């Protein structure tokens, strides 16, 4: 045998111990049922083995009560399994508002990661302990899946859309990062390391690299290079809506829908401007598909997020036909999930 044969990966995120506890519950239920069934079969097989070749046992009548009991009890147990698993999943799907944003672009066969401060990494992710981190992820080609076993969490990374994953790293160390969705030749080479560091060490690491400016600064440069400001004027006087304070606000669309301006909406509006046109504006904007890559898009998004609203201006220009405040609270059951703006944009 090898040196060790551990049964669990390390627990290095806020979810790890919760998932392990749930797993243990399932294992216990499995063992109890298995032993019950195997034990019953073994006992019956020995006790009621055939004594003579002509033996015909008396047949037993089906007991309705027994059938009900052994349907209802397992059903009750499975409902516990459902509720417990769903509650963890629900938590995993709701990044807290104060989570530090980072960006992941998957491509055959590497992970490209960008920190808001501007640091770029390939197949490595440095994160501090104790702080919620939210990764916004997309793929440049096929479907990948971002998987950190020590964090017990995983999320597919899909071309053409954003997915998110969040966690609070809890234990400094070096952990596997895997691609879990088969993506072609070097699928098993699309791996890397997650370095969880104490906050001070992380800060040192951030300072150690010499980034070319934060993501928002790079996005701002891109914004100028692409001449976005010609139409998107900050004061709303341009032909297109002002982007100041847009992030996470509700936007009235030309077709009557109201959506939240999250990362997915911003990305779509850059690459497919006609898909969701803000009410009161003409669909004038050309697509920037091909002019800006996924990494550029996330820099633009960080730039837009950095445009804090100047008091009293900006906001109105986005919601022109809408009385201010009307859409602050979305009615439940509308297209957007009713659990808040921070829900990852999933379809």
Q: Which is nearer to another protein, 30 or 308 (CB)?
A: 30
CB-count exposure of residue 95 (10 Å: 0-12, 13-18, 19+): buried
Query: What stretch of H or E contains 200?
Result: helix 199-208
Interface residue with another protein, options 17, 28, 89, 122 (CB under 8 A): 89
Residue 72 or 316: the one with the smaller Cβ distance to another protein is: 72
98 to 137, contacts with another protein by CB under 8 A?
108
Q: Are 154 and 147 within 8 A, CB to CB? A: yes
Sole window of 86-94, 110-118, 225-233, 317-325 interacting with another protein (rule: CB under 8 A): 86-94
Closer Cβ to another protein, 264 or 300, answer by number: 264
5 binds another protein (CB under 8 A): yes
Count of positions (residues) in the chain: 347
Site for another protein, residues 169 to 228, rule: CB under 8 A: 176, 178-189
Positions in 30-49 near another protein (CB under 8 A) = 30, 33-34, 37-38, 40-41, 44-45, 48-49
Class of residue 329 by CB neighbours under 10 A (exposed 0-12, middle 13-18, buried 19+) = exposed
- 335 interacts with another protein by CB under 8 A: no
Burial label, 69 (beta-carbon count in 10 A; 0-12, 13-18, 19+): exposed
Instruction: Say how far apart CA 66 and CA 164 lie, in whole Å.
Output: 47
Q: Which stretch binds another protein (CB under 8 A): 72-80, 210-218, 299-307, 323-331?
A: 72-80
Report the residue from 103, 147, 166, 281 that binds another protein according to the rule CB under 8 A: 147
User: Which residues, at least 6 apart from 84, have a Cβ–Cβ distance to it below 8 Å?
Assistant: 22, 25
- Taking the complex as a whole, the smallest distance from the CB of residue 204 to another protein amounts, in Å, to 28
Pairing of strands 100-107, 144-148: unpaired
Angle at 104 between CA 167 and CA 287, to 5 degrees: 130
Q: Does the protein bind another protein through residue 145 (CB under 8 A)?
A: yes
Pick the closer one to another protein by CB: 85 or 309.
Answer: 85
Binds another protein (CB under 8 A): choice among 79, 231, 316, 334: 79
Within 291-330, the residues that bind another protein by CB under 8 A are: none
Chosen residue from 11, 104, 107, 152 binding another protein by CB under 8 A: 152
Position 341 contacts another protein (CB under 8 A) = no
HSE on the CB side for 77, CA within 13 Å? 14
Do 167 and 132 meet the contact criterion of CB atoms below 8 Å apart? yes
> Per CB under 8 A, does 65 bind another protein?
no
Q: Are 239 and 253 in contact (CB under 8 A)?
A: no
Q: Say whether residue 96 binds another protein (CB under 8 A).
A: no
Shortest distance, CB of residue 108 to another protein, whole angstroms?
7
**Among residues 97, 124, 141, 204, the one that binds another protein under rule CB under 8 A:** 141
- How many Cα atoms are found within 13 Å in the side-chain-facing hemisphere of 300? 27
Nearer to another protein, 119 or 163 (CB): 163
Please report the sign of the dihedral spanned by the C-alpha atoms of residue 290, residue 220, residue 94, residue 183: positive
Nearer to another protein, 64 or 324 (CB): 64
Least CB distance to another protein at residue 206 (A) = 28
């Amino acid at each position: 045998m090898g040196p060790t044969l551990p049964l669990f990966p390390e627990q290095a995120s806020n979810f790890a111990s919760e998932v392990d506890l749930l797993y243990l519950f399932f294992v216990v239920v499995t063992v109890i049922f298995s032993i019950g069934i195997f034990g019953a079969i073994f006992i019956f097989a020995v006790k009621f083995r055939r004594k003579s070749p002509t033996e015909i046992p008396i047949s037993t009548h089906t007991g309705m009560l027994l059938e009900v009991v052994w349907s209802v009890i397992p059903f009750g147990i499975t409902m516990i399994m459902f509720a417990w698993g769903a509650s963890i999943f629900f938590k995993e799907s709701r990044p807290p508002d104060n989570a530090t944003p980072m960006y992941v672009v998957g491509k055959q066969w590497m992970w490209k990661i960008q920190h808001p401060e501007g640091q770029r990494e390939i197949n490595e992710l440095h994160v501090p302990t104790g702080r919620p981190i939210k990764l916004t992820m997309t793929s440049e080609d096929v479907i990948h899946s971002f998987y950190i076993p020590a964090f017990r969490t995983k999320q597919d990374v899909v071309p053409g859309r954003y997915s998110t994953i969040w966690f609070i790293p809890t234990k400094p160390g070096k952990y596997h990062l895997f691609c879990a969705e088969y993506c072609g030749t070097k699928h098993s080479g699309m791996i890397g390391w997650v370095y969880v560091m104490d906050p001070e060490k992380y800060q040192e690491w951030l300072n150690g690299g010499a980034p070319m400016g934060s993501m928002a600064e790079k996005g701002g440069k891109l914004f100028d290079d692409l001449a976005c400001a010609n139409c998107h004027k900050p004061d709303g006087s341009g032909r297109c809506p002002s982007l100041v304070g847009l992030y996470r606000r509700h936007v009235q669309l030309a077709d009557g829908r109201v959506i939240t301006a999250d990362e997915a909406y911003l990305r779509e509006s850059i690459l497919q401007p006609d898909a969701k046109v803000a009410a009161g504006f003409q669909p004038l904007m050309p697509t920037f598909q091909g002019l800006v890559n996924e990494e550029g898009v996330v820099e633009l998004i960080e730039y837009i997020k950095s445009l804090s609203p100047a008091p009293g201006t900006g906001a109105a220009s986005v919601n022109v036909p809408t009385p201010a405040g009307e859409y602050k609270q979305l009615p439940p059951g509308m297209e957007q999930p009713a659990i808040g703006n921070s829900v990852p944009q999933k379809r």
